[in-house]
Structure 1
Amino acid sequence: MFIQCIKQVSRITLTLLFLLASVSASADNSNAIPDSKAQLQQILDDNKGKVIYLDFWASWCIPCRKSFPWMNAMEAKYAGQGFKVITVNVDVEKSLALEFLQENPANFTVVYDPKGAIAKEFKLKGMPSSYMINKLGKPVSAHVGFYNDKRAEYEAEIVKLLEE
């Protein structure tokens, strides 16, 4: 299991590096319309040195509804210590995401990925899928799903990374 976790983190690291390279390469084209990858990269750049909880969600995802209050609480509690929640919505129709957000307010950053470009890079296995990124910008763990009984475990991971 530990070896699988290391392989997963290594794959995520390579994916992030690929994402960074592809966004950097396309950034030189001044005629390009900003896409979700470029938007996410800018947000990540703006939050360098912070611990980031990167979460992928969709309007149809029941566990996502449970995770939003927790993500709001974590960002409110730890933002002053250098913690940031960034979420990526994968709905094709933005109106579905906006309707979800009416019912489940987000007090954190939301990036829309209607074409699934970012989600494809991360090879998501389920919803929600979350990645903990340390202050050095390296993904250190991944979670599929959101479980209320694991909230303390998730928070302990945030605290540990903030202390590093």
Structure 2
Amino acid sequence: MSRKPNWFDKHLPSKEELAAHKWLRPWAERIVHPSLWHINRRSVSRGAALGMFFALLTPIGQIFFAALASLYMRGNVPIAAATTFITNPLTLAPVLYCEYAIGSLLLGRPVSLPSLPENEHWFWGAIQTVQYLGLPLVLGIVVLSVIAGIVTYFGIEAVWRWRSTRKWRSRRAQRARV
């Protein structure tokens, strides 16, 4: 039974077309590996964990880094790329504040944003603010991205196993009734 092609099938390149591209030829063998494109528990877990890790770690180039890491760790590339959209222009400010708060708590600092001095030039005030926020923010970014990646990986593994077990039990119960 064939299915009707959708917009993605018409407009996005296939994995074979990607592998044949001149810039991607050095990685062609990895690009066409089946686990990078099929939906299964291990590849989806890896892809989502890598996407979550890079979504919280880097504000720029997160799709590229998540996809590249998925190639080497055999994660699902489309899932990794899609998961990076957790951080977007609407969620970036709350995520950064959460990361700053986590870093401040780990360093034993109060979780408060500094106010800019009014008598100084705006540039030097901004430099002081970056110096004040820098270490807690970087520490919070690293800690939150690692924890979110680990929680995502094991969360998807657990939910996938739970659903599979439930389906098997349902099938077994149906066979027992017949």
After TM superposition, the score normalised by the length of structure 1 is 0.29
* Larger Rg, first or second structure (1 or 2): 2
**Higher share of residues assigned helix:** 2
**Higher share of residues assigned strand:** 1
Greater RCO (CA < 8 Å, at least 6 residues apart): 1
After TM superposition, the score normalised by the length of structure 2 is 0.27
